[in-house]
Amino acid sequence: MSTGKLRILVAPDSFKGSLTSKQAATIIADTLLTTVPDAEIVQCPLADGGEGTAEILAPHLAGSICLIESAQFIGLNLPQMQSLNVMQRGSSVLGEAILAGLDDGKRQFVIGLGGSATNDGGLGMLMALGMQAWDAHDNPVALNLSGLLSLVRIDISNLDPRLPESRFTILSDVLSPLCGKNGATAVYGPQKGVQRAEVTRIERAISGFADMCGDVFGFDPRSEQGAGAAGGLGFALMLLGGKVVSGAGFVIEKSGFTNQLSDTDWVITGEGRSDAQTLQGKLPFKVAGAARAAGVKVALLSGSVDTDAEVDLKKHFDLVIGTLPEGISVEQVMEKAEEMLIAGVHRLFERVSRDG
């Protein structure tokens, strides 16, 4: 190294429900400086299309681009979403955000889909953009999952005419198709409040909606990777010509993370929970790949680490540290996230010092 100092690049995702990626990066960096004051600590908080994406990306995108973070409008952690049964949750507010961008003259959209609370197949969003939808009694359906269940007919002739001239980049690390055992409802619905007994009924409704969309749009992207993202919003945005890209990969590229790896000794990344899904392309996995390609050691510091996945995680990370102490619930950790993260940093640095 040119300076002779230990250089550590701190690049976490958010610790969902407790700390933003910027908050986590600051806590980690401040704690490291109390432990090794002579080190050079560089903060590069990241995101994957979910919570915190807009804050991280905004400085790196042209002003002509409309950046929308779905979690800010229909996020699972939002009080207005938590106060509603999943059947009453819809995605229309996301459509309204797109309309606002169109009204502002924007025609390029970057939309992060992580952390959504909805499972309406994008029905609400499309209706906000001008699609009409009716039930068996020719009444307009509600702009939510309940409306999807009563849907029998749609018409897209009144879709906003500015949409065909717009481009949508969809940030998601969910590769699920819209339907099936690996689809939006079966995999992610229960996390949003869908009862297991309702999965089959909702699945039929979403499949029927996809049939209708295929007829009127002229194509059916239900089987495409990412169509099942955000309860089917990936599918709905694909109908508008949207292209799904890796949210983590996009943020890493635009943020200049890889340029920061030069002369770096360690990268510290992390997330709220690390498990088998982490290795399916979540942000820490993408960070590890970039770091190792540059010959830099990488540590994973997470709120909790699934013991069943730990062996595989250690194949990609030089160190794997969970901040969840034995006998403490995940809820308690979220309440004391900062305290636990500080303790985790101390344990991590002890390992770094010992193992080199």
Considering its fold, how many domains does the chain have in total?
Answer: 2
What was the pLDDT predicted at 355? 63
What was the pLDDT predicted at 2? 43
Is the pLDDT score of 324 beyond 80?
no
Q: What number of other Cβ atoms are within 10 A of residue 329's Cβ?
A: 10
What was the pLDDT predicted at 30? 97
Q: Are residues 233 and 276 in the same domain?
A: no
Name the strand (E) or helix (H) holding 334.
helix 330-335
Q: Are residues 218 and 107 in the same domain?
A: yes
The DSSP code sequence of 138-185 is SPBPPSSHHHHHT--EEE-TTS-TTGGG-EEEEE------SSSTTSII
Q: Which domain holds residue 179?
A: 53-247
Q: Are residues 265 and 241 in the same domain?
A: no
* Among the listed residues 129, 123, 130, 133, the one whose alpha carbon sits nearest the alpha carbon of residue 153: 133
| Domain stops at, among 214, 247, 280 | 247
Q: Are residues 217 and 139 in the same domain?
A: yes
* Among the listed residues 5, 13, 15, the one whose alpha carbon sits nearest the alpha carbon of residue 41: 5
Q: Are residues 187 and 278 in the same domain?
A: no
Residue 149 lies in a domain: yes
Q: What is the pLDDT of residues 249-296, one digit of tens each?
A: 999 999 999 999 999 999 999 999 999 989 988 999 999 999 999 999
Residues above pLDDT 70, as percent of the chain: 96
What was the pLDDT predicted at 211? 98
Contact 185, 222 (CB under 8 A): no
Residues above pLDDT 90, as percent of the chain: 87
Is the pLDDT score of 1 beyond 50?
no
Cα–Cα distance, 69 to 65 (Å, whole number): 13
Handedness of CA 238, 240, 241, 244 (dihedral sign): negative
Average pLDDT, the chain: 94
| Domain stops at, among 247, 277, 292 | 247
Q: In 57-137, at which residue ranges do the beta strands (DSSP E only) sit?
A: 65-69, 108-112, 132-134
What was the pLDDT predicted at 317? 97
Residue 1 lies in a domain: no
What was the pLDDT predicted at 63? 93
Contact 112, 51 (CB under 8 A): no
CATH of the domain at 201: 3.90.1510.10
Q: Are residues 176 and 62 in the same domain?
A: yes
Contact 61, 67 (CB under 8 A): yes
Q: What is the pLDDT of residues 187-232, one digit of tens each?
A: 999 999 999 999 999 999 999 999 999 999 999 999 999 999 999 9
pTM for the complete prediction? 0.92
| Domain stops at, among 217, 247, 277 | 247
Cα–Cα distance, 88 to 67 (Å, whole number): 26
What was the pLDDT predicted at 16? 82
Is the pLDDT score of 107 beyond 50?
yes
Contact 349, 343 (CB under 8 A): no
Q: Are residues 293 and 163 in the same domain?
A: no
